[in-house]
């Protein structure tokens, strides 16, 4: 996820935003009044113009004061009836067709099918709802004016503001209903599309035994479904899980039998449609000599969102996380990371660029031994930093340290990223590394996405009207 | 149709519509004068009268009506309705307006149309329903009230247009070409309705280029031509031909008619006409229709040279 600026808390921006809105609205009103006065002055002189502008402003205020909810609702109902009689619901049929045929074109073997399906359905919903309310809004009032139906309305005790507000409200309701229906259909489509499981036979598993022959677990691979398999690890009690492939994993449990006659069942997709709740840190850099630096290296990309660190050098990207408490992370630190790569030579293109991650005490400088990984570039990789870590001391000896006792200091911890391959570069932004402090519900996050679309729909049709 | 007699109280009634030096010039995009639609007009319309704006197409009738409704702004002068400027929205509470072409929402049916306009008057639901039902019955659309207006004939559209104009039981009704597009029966019903409105104390302003309609229902008329007021006054006074004397009688024998002619000639009268008066074509048509409905299959009006049926 690209996050160029930290998202402020709702409570911190709403108040100033309302003040800004009112200020801008007042400025626009003053500007419009001055413009009207200038235009009228040219025609009828400054005094008469001032009088007309003054009366206009008074009439506008009276307009606002005399607004009736019943009349606004009557006009809103009219807009809804107009939309329905113009067969606006046809768009739902179109949406259904899109959903039906989307399965043909969306690749379930993609790196992250959840993201693909979700992105597609939200984009289609956004486009269709915006388009419908745009067409309705743009043609509604001009059609009334052209057909002169507006004359029978304006000769009733109806304010201009009520006509506009009624239309806005009516089309807002139409857009909302369409959005809710499409949202539900889209949600069902995404969930059904990514939903799958695999089969696992006992013969596909290899028992892991100790020297005395005791079985300590099983390893194997699942059946091929939707173009992928998972590696499976199962404990002797028959409980296990798969690895993460295509952004998801499955739980595994033995449902009957034992040993070679055991039958296993894999659960539904986990981790694909989840709302990650990130704990973000502050990013700083070390240059190739290991000196602190405000920025990483520019590799010439116009967009300077990501900064790069050179591989095979002392260059590092360091995130400082705060508020790390043992109660919140009893299993260790679930680090999630997105690392981009800039290659100065092609090398083995099938092979990822190797790097390392260490955790470090920001006060004492004590750091863990590195965790090695290869950059997956376009998918979010996860790494669990365990409670007990190996740390190599200056004399070369290795000792076990506790994450919260030795590494975390005052709730703060540093995560140090380095690229290990010379002449290759890692590109990172502050939001690319975060600690996963829990999971929200997918439905709530999906609803938030729909709310975002709703706001854009309201913006579109209000502007169009 | 019986035209009610004008009363003296009407002439002395409260002025509810007033045009003072009211004029309108339509301009092009650059503000240049394009057409003078109405030259300065002074007019007073009193409560309870039926006032006609008469004139050929393009004479400024509809422009005057739009100025009185506040639909357009005057170039100069002012229009005052119920003591308020015509552009004041609050005056519309007491006004009903039937536009020339019944500009209504075609996707609504009759009930929805009246319900919608009722809501615009902030009417409570029960009253809306009661008035809508009564008006639909009054204009004879009871059987078609569930049909969308797009399916209506021109006459039906006109009738629902009248109903919407009366939804708020207005004190002042403005009718733009009220009989336009109506058949003779519809025209007669419309004129009856206008007269009925007057009987109920309403003030009616109508504009038309159909002289017979105006003559039949209006108390006073203003004749406009090329945007200018040419004549203003009571219809009966304007139409009175003062240098001709008319005598009407029934059952007068030929000999008596000759005697009357002789008396008139003795007193210096000239261009004497004595004979049976003709009815209007409208009256004849209505008689045919009523007779046909009463006795289907029979020729309604008997020619004088045909023998009477036994």
In a domain, B34, yes or no: yes
Q: Which chain B residues are Cβ-neighbours of A43 within 8 angstroms? A: 31
**Which residues on A lie below 8 Å from B95 (Cβ)?**
155
Kindly determine whether residue B107 and residue A73, on different chains, have CB atoms separated by under 8 Å. Answer: no
Which residue of B69, B119, B168 is in closest CB contact with A71? B119
The total number of residues shown for chain B amounts to 310
Q: Evaluate if residue B4 carries a pLDDT over 60.
A: no
Would the pLDDT of B307 be above 90?
no
B112 vs A contacts (CB less than 8 Å): 81
Chain B residues within 8 A of A73 when measuring between CB atoms: 119
Cβ distance of A153 and B120 shorter than 8 Å: yes
Q: Does an H or E element contain A458, and which? A: helix A442-464
Residue B10 has pLDDT above 70, yes or no: no
Q: Which of B202, B131, B214, B208 is nearest to B172 (CA)?
A: B202
Q: Which of B172, B187, B3, B149 is nearest to B92 (CA)?
A: B172
CA distances from B13 to A94, B46, B50 (A): 63, 5, 13
Residue B3 lies in a domain: no
- For residue A179, give the 3-state DSSP assignment: helix
Query: Where do runs of H (alpha helix) occur along A45-112?
Result: 46-65, 69-85, 90-105
Q: Is residue B305 part of a domain?
A: no
Backbone angles phi, psi at A327, to 5 degrees: -65, -35
B90, B104, B119 member nearest A70 (Cβ): B119
- Among A297, A312, A390, A383, residue whose Cα is nearest residue A354: A312
In a domain, B1, yes or no: no
pLDDT band for position B309 (cuts 50, 70, 90): very low
Is-contact B84 B90, C-beta < 8 A?
yes
Q: Do B107 and A81 touch (CB under 8 A)?
A: yes
| Interchain contact, A82 vs B107, CB within 8 Å | yes
* Other Cβ atoms closer than 10 A to A55: 12
Instruction: Say whether both B184 and B122 belong to one domain.
Output: yes
Minimum CA–CA partner of B98 in chain A: A152
Q: Are residues B108 and A73, on separate chains, in Cβ contact within 8 Å?
A: no
Asked if residue B309 is part of any domain, the answer here is: no
Q: Are A411 and A424 in contact (CB under 8 A)?
A: no
In CATH terms, the fold of domain A277-428 is Jelly Rolls (2.60.120)
Tell me the chain A residues in contact with residue B71 when contact means C-beta distances shorter than 8 Å: 151, 154-155
Nearest CA in chain A to B175: A152
Is B310 part of any domain? no
List C-alpha distances in Å: A364 to A52, A386, A406, A413, B15: 75, 20, 9, 11, 96
Report yes or no: B36 and B25 within 8 Å, Cβ to Cβ: yes
Using a CB-CB distance cutoff of 8 angstroms, which residues of chain A are in contact with residue B101?
Answer: 148
| Residue B104, pLDDT above cutoff 70 | yes
Q: Which residues pair with B23 in a beta bridge?
A: B76
Please tell me the pTM assigned to this model.
0.75
Q: Residue A151 and residue B71: Cβ atoms within 8 Å?
A: yes
Q: Are residues B69 and B197 part of one domain?
A: yes
Yes or no, beta carbons of A152 and B31 under 8 Å apart: no
Query: What CATH number should be reported for the domain holding residue B138?
Result: 3.40.50.300
Best of A41, A146, A156 to mutate (most B CBs within 10 Å, chain B): A156
* Pair (B198, B263) in one structural domain: no
Q: CB distance B121–A156 less than 8 Å?
A: yes
Q: Name the phi and psi angles at A282, rounded to 5.
A: -100, 135
Range of the domain at B231: 8-239
Residue A395 is classified by DSSP as T
Q: Which residues contact A382 (CB under 8 A, 6 or more apart)?
A: A244, A334, A335, A336, A337, A436
Distance CA A69, CA A412 (A): 55
End-to-end CA distance of chain B: 32
Q: Three-class SS of residue A391? A: strand
In this prediction, residue A430 carries a pLDDT of 92
B190: in domain: yes
The half-sphere exposure of A340 on its side-chain side, counting CA atoms within 13 A, is 15
Of the partner residues B103, B120, B168, the one whose CB lies closest to the CB of residue A147: B103
Of A149, A151, A157, the CB nearest to B120: A157
Instruction: Write the pLDDT tens digit of every residue in B115-174.
Output: 999 999 989 999 999 999 999 998 888 899 999 999 998 888 988 999 999 999 999 999
* Distance in angstroms (rounded) separating the CA atoms of residues A248 and B11: 90
Beta-strand pair B220-225/B50-54? parallel
B31 part of a folded domain: yes
Nearest to B98 by CA among B172, B152, B171, B178: B178
Please say whether the beta carbons of A267 and A250 come within 8 A. Answer: yes
- Contact assessment for residue A450 and residue A442, using Cβ atoms and an 8 Å cutoff: no
Residue B235 confidence (pLDDT): 77
Q: Across the interface, which of A74, A82, A152 has its CB nearest the CB of B103?
A: A152
Convert the pLDDT of each residue in B249-302 to its tens digit. 878 888 888 888 888 888 887 777 776 666 665 666 667 667 767 776 665 544
Q: Which chain B positions have a beta carbon within 8 Å of A60's beta carbon?
A: none
Residues B163, B265 within the same domain: no
User: How close B79 comes to chain A (CA, Å)?
Assistant: 15
- CB atoms A149 and B122 under 8 Å: no
Q: Provide the pLDDT for residue A397.
A: 81
Size of interface A-B (CB pairs under 8 A): 71
- Check CB contact under 8 Å for B103 and A68: no
Q: How far is CA A248 from the centre of its chain?
A: 17
User: Does the model's ipTM exceed the 0.85 cut?
Assistant: no
Pairing of strands B172-176, B95-98: parallel
Task: Indicate whether B261 and B220 sit together in one domain.
Answer: no
**Partner B contacted by A156 (CB < 8 A):** yes
Query: pLDDT 10s per residue in chain A (465 long)?
Result: 677 777 787 788 889 999 999 999 999 999 999 999 999 998 888 998 999 899 888 888 888 888 888 899 999 999 999 999 888 889 999 999 998 888 788 887 777 788 888 899 999 999 999 999 999 888 888 888 888 888 899 999 998 889 989 999 999 999 999 999 999 999 999 988 888 999 998 888 888 888 888 888 889 999 998 888 899 999 888 899 898 888 788 999 998 887 778 889 999 888 788 887 889 999 999 999 999 998 899 888 888 889 999 999 999 999 999 999 998 898 899 999 999 999 999 888 888 899 999 999 999 999 999 999 999 887 788 899 999 999 987 777 888 999 999 999 999 999 999 999 999 999 999 999 999 887 778 888 899 999 999 999 998 888 887
3-state secondary structure labels for all residues of chain B: CCCCCCCHHHHCCCEEEEEEEEEEEEECCCCCEEEEEEEEEEEEEECCCEEEEECCCCCCHHHHHHHHHCCCCCCEEEEEECCEECCCHHHHHHEEEECCCCCCCCCCEHHHHHHHHHHHCCCCHHHHHHHHHHHHHHCCCHHHCCCEHHHCCHHHHHHHHHHHHCCCCCCEEEEECCCCCCCHHHHHHHHHHHHHHHHCCCEEEEEECCHHHHHHHCCEEEEEECCEEEEEEEHHHHHCCCCCCCCCCCCCCHHHHHHHHHHHHHCCCCCCCCCCCCCCHHHHHHHHHHHHHHCCCCCCCCCCCCCCCC
Shortest CA distance to A439 belongs to which of A321, A334, A283, A338?
Answer: A334
Q: Are A348 and A342 in contact (CB under 8 A)?
A: no
Q: Which of A341, A347, A366, A350 is nearest to A425 (CA)?
A: A341
Residues 255-294 of chain B with CB under 8 A from chain A are none
In tens, the pLDDT along A183-230 reads: 999 999 998 888 899 999 888 888 888 888 888 888 999 999 888 889
Integer Cα distance of A221 and B95 in angstroms:
82
3-state secondary structure (DSSP) of residue A442 = helix
Partner residue facing A74 (CB), from B71, B89, B120: B120
B108 with A154: Cβ contact below 8 A: no
For the sheet with B220-225, list strands across it: B95-98, B172-176, B203-208, B50-54, B220-225, B228-234
Rounded-to-integer distance, Cα A319 and Cα A315, Å: 13
Contact B92 A156 (CB under 8 A): yes
Contact between chains at B104 and A159 (C-beta distance less than 8 A): no
**Contact criterion met (CB < 8 Å) for B69 and A43:** no
Nearest CA to A74 out of A179, A157, A143 is that of A157
Q: Which of B43, B93, B49 is nearest to B68 (CA)?
A: B43
pLDDT band at B310; cut points 50, 70, 90:
very low
CB-based contacts of A75: which residues, under 8 Å, 6+ apart? A153, A158, A162, A163, A165, A166, A167, A169, A170, B120
- CB contact under 8 Å between B99 and A68, yes or no, is no
Number of independent structural domains in chain B: 2
Distance separating alpha carbons of residues B297 and A192, to the nearest angstrom: 72
Rounded CA separation A420/A424 (Å): 8
The reply to whether residue B103 touches residue A158, judged by beta carbons under 8 angstroms, is: no
Residue A148 near chain B (CB below 8 Å): yes
pLDDT, mean over chain A: 89
Q: Report the alpha-carbon distance of residue A227 to residue A211 in Å, rounded.
A: 37
On whether both B283 and B169 belong to a single domain, the answer is no
Summarize pLDDT for B222-254 with one digit per residue, the tens.
Answer: 888 888 888 788 877 776 766 777 777 878 888
pLDDT in tens, B35-78: 888 999 999 999 999 999 888 788 888 899 999 999 899 999 99
Mean pLDDT of chain B: 83
Chain B closest-CA separation from residue A48 CA (Å): 13
Residue-level length of chain A = 465
Residues of A in contact with B116 (CB under 8 A): 74, 77-78
Element (H, E) at A27: helix A10-44
Q: Which of B254, B160, B226, B215 is nearest to B3 (CA)?
A: B215
Tell if the CB–CB gap between B122 and A151 is shorter than 8 Å.
no
Say if residue B308's pLDDT is above 80: no
Percent of chain A with pLDDT over 90: 52
Residues of B in contact with A155 (CB under 8 A): 69-71, 92, 95, 97
> Domain segments of chain A: what residues?
22-52, 66-194, 202-273, 277-428
Is the domain of B67 the same as that of B183?
A: yes
Chain A 159-178, residues with CB within 8 Å of chain B CB atoms: 159
Torsion angle, alpha carbons of A172, A176, A179, A185, to 10: -160
Interface list for A 11-70 with B (CB within 8 A): 43, 63, 66, 68, 70
Asked if B122 lies within 8 A of A70 by C-beta distance, the reply is yes
How far apart (Å, rounded) are the C-alpha atoms in residues A126 and A454? 8
Same domain, B122 and B215: yes
């Amino acid at each position: 996820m690209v996050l160029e600026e930290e998202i402020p808390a709702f409570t911190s921006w709403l108040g100033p935003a309302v003040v800004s809105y009112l200020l801008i609205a007042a400025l626009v009103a003053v500007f419009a009044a001055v413009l009207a006065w200038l235009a009228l002055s040219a025609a009828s002189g400054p005094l008469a113009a001032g009088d007309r502008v003054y009366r206009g402003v008074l009439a506008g205020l009276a307009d606002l004061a005399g607004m009736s909810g019943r009349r606004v609702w009557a006009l809103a109902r009219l807009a809804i009836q107009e939309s329905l009689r113009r067969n606006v619901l046809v768009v739902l049929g179109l949406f259904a067709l899109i959903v039906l045929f989307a399965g043909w074109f969306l690749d379930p073997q993609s790196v992250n099918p959840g993201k693909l399906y979700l992105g597609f359905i939200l984009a289609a919903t956004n486009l269709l709802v915006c388009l419908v309310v745009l067409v309705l809004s743009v043609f509604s009032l001009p059609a009334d004016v052209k057909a002169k139906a507006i004359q029978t309305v304006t000769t009733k005790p109806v304010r201009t503001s009520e006509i506009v507000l009624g239309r806005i409200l009516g089309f807002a309701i139409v857009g909302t209903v369409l959005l809710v229906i499409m949202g539900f259909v889209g949600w069902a489509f995404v969930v059904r599309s990514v939903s799958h499981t695999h089969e696992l036979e006992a013969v596909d598993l290899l028992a892991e035994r100790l020297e005395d022959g005791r079985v300590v677990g099983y390893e194997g691979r699942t059946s091929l479904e939707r173009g992928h398999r998972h590696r499976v690890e199962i404990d002797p009690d028959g409980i296990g899980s798969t690895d993460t492939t295509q952004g998801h994993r499955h739980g595994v449990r033995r449902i009957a039998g034992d040993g070679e006659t055991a039958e296993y069942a894999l659960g539904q997709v986990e981790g694909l449609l989840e709302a990650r709740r990130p704990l973000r840190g502050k990013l700083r850099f070390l240059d190739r000599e290991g000196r602190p630096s405000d920025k990483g290296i520019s590799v010439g990309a116009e967009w300077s969102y990501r900064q790069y660190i050179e591989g095979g050098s002392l260059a590092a990207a360091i995130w400082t996380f705060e508020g790390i408490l043992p109660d919140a992370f009893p299993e260790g630190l679930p680090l999630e990371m997105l690392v981009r790569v800039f290659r100065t030579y092609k090398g083995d293109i099938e092979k990822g660029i190797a790097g390392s991650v260490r955790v470090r005490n920001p006060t004492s400088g004590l750091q863990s031994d590195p965790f090695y990984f290869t950059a997956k570039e376009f998918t979010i990789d996860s790494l669990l930093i365990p409670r007990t870590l190996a740390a190599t001391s200056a004399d070369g000896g290795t000792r076990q340290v506790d994450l919260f006792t030795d590494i975390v200091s005052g709730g703060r911890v540093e995560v140090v990223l380095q690229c290990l391959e010379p002449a290759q570069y890692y590109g990172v932004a502050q939001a690319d590394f975060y600690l996963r402090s829990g999971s929200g519900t997918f439905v709530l996050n999906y609803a938030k996405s729909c709310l975002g679309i709703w706001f854009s729909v309201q913006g579109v049709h209000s502007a169009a009207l | 149709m019986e035209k009610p007699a004008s009363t003296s109280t009407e002439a002395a009634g409260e002025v509810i519509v007033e045009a003072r030096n009211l004029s309108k010039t339509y301009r092009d995009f650059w503000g240049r004068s394009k057409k003078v639609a109405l030259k300065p007009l002074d007019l007073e319309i009193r409560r309870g009268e039926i006032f006609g704006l008469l004139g050929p197409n393009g004479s400024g009738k509809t422009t005057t009506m739009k100025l009185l409704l506040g639909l357009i702004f005057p170039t100069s002068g002012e229009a005052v309705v119920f003591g308020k400027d015509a552009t004041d929205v609050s005056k519309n509470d007491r006004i009903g307006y039937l536009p020339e072409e019944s500009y209504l929402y075609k996707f609504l049916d009759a009930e929805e149309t009246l319900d919608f306009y009722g809501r615009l008057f902030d009417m409570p639901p029960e009253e809306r329903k009661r008035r809508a039902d009564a008006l639909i019955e009054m204009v004879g659309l009871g059987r078609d009230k569930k049909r969308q207006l797009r399916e209506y004939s021109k006459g039906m559209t006109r009738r629902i247009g009248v109903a919407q104009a009366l939804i708020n039981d207005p004190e002042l009704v403005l009718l733009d070409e009220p009989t336009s597009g109506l058949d003779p029966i519809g025209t007669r019903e419309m004129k009856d309705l206008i007269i009925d409105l007057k009987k109920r104390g309403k003030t009616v302003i109508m504009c038309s280029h159909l002289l017979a309609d105006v003559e039949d229902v209006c108390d006073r008329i203003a004749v406009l031509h090329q945007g200018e007021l040419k004549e203003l006054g009571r219809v009966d006074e304007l139409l009175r031909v003062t240098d001709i004397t008319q005598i009407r009688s029934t059952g007068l024998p030929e000999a008596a008619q000759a005697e009357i002619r002789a008396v008139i000639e003795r007193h210096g009268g000239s261009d004497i006409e004595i004979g049976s008066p003709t009815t209007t074509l409208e009256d004849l048509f209505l008689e045919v229709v009523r007779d046909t409905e009463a006795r289907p299959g029979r020729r309604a009006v008997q020619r004088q040279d045909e023998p009477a049926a036994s």
